[in-house]
Amino acid sequence: MTGLLALGILGFSAPAPQAQDDDIRPLIEIWAEEPTRIFEAHGINLNEFRFIARPVIIFADSPNDPNFRHQMELLAERPEDLAERDVIVITDTDPANPSALRLELRPRGFMLVLIDKEGGVALRKPQPWDLRELTRSIDKSPLRQQEIEDRR
C-alpha cells in the first residue's frame, strides 16, 4: 500500500502482511498485540473475529480515492477509541483483484462496512463517516452495552 497508510503517519501501524514465513501466527493474535494496525482484506476470514472484534472494512477503487483517504484520516484521529471498542480496521482498495470480503459485501466504489461481533453487517456507508458517529453507532449495540456494564 502506498501513500499515507504506508508511511504510518495517520496514527495507525502499516498494513500487516497476512502470510509471510517469519510470521504465520493467526491474524487475531497479531491484531491482539497491535490493535491499531491496518490489515489488508486478502486472506481474511471474518469468522475468526466472531465475538472477539468488530471489523470495520473500508473499500475503495484505489488507495488514492479522496473518500478513502479522508476516511483513513478520520479513523486516525483517535485510534485508541477504536481499539477500546475492539475494532479491527481492514482495507480493500484493489477491485481488479477482489478479496473474498469484496465479493461477499459487493461495494461500489467507496464503502465503509461495520461488522458486529456476532458477524452481521451493522452498518454500510457510501461516504466517509466521522469517528464520533462510528463509535456512537457501536456504543448503541446491545453487546457493546453489555461490555460497558461488565467493565464497571
Q: What is the CATH number of the domain that holds 115?
A: 3.40.30
pLDDT surpassing 80 at residue 23: no
Asked if residue 45 is part of any domain, the answer here is: yes
Beta carbons within 10 angstroms of residue 6's beta carbon: 12
Asked if residue 22 is part of any domain, the answer here is: yes
Once rounded to an integer, what is the mean pLDDT over residues 2-25?
Answer: 46
pLDDT digits over 91-104, tens only?
999 999 999 999 99
The secondary structure element, H or E, covering residue 143 is helix 142-151
Asked if residue 138 is part of any domain, the answer here is: no
Q: Does residue 23 or residue 40 have the better pLDDT?
A: 40
pLDDT digits over 123-142, tens only?
999 999 999 999 999 999 88
Once rounded to an integer, what is the mean pLDDT over residues 100-123?
Answer: 96
Domain that holds residue 84: 4-120
Domain count, the chain: 1
Asked if residue 128 is part of any domain, the answer here is: no
**For residue 148, with 0-12 CB atoms within 10 Å meaning exposed, 13-18 middle and 19 or more buried, which class applies?**
exposed
The secondary structure element, H or E, covering residue 113 is strand 111-115
Asked if residue 107 is part of any domain, the answer here is: yes
Residues 12 and 36 sit within 8 Å (Cβ to Cβ):
yes
Asked if residue 9 is part of any domain, the answer here is: yes
pTM for this structure?
Answer: 0.81
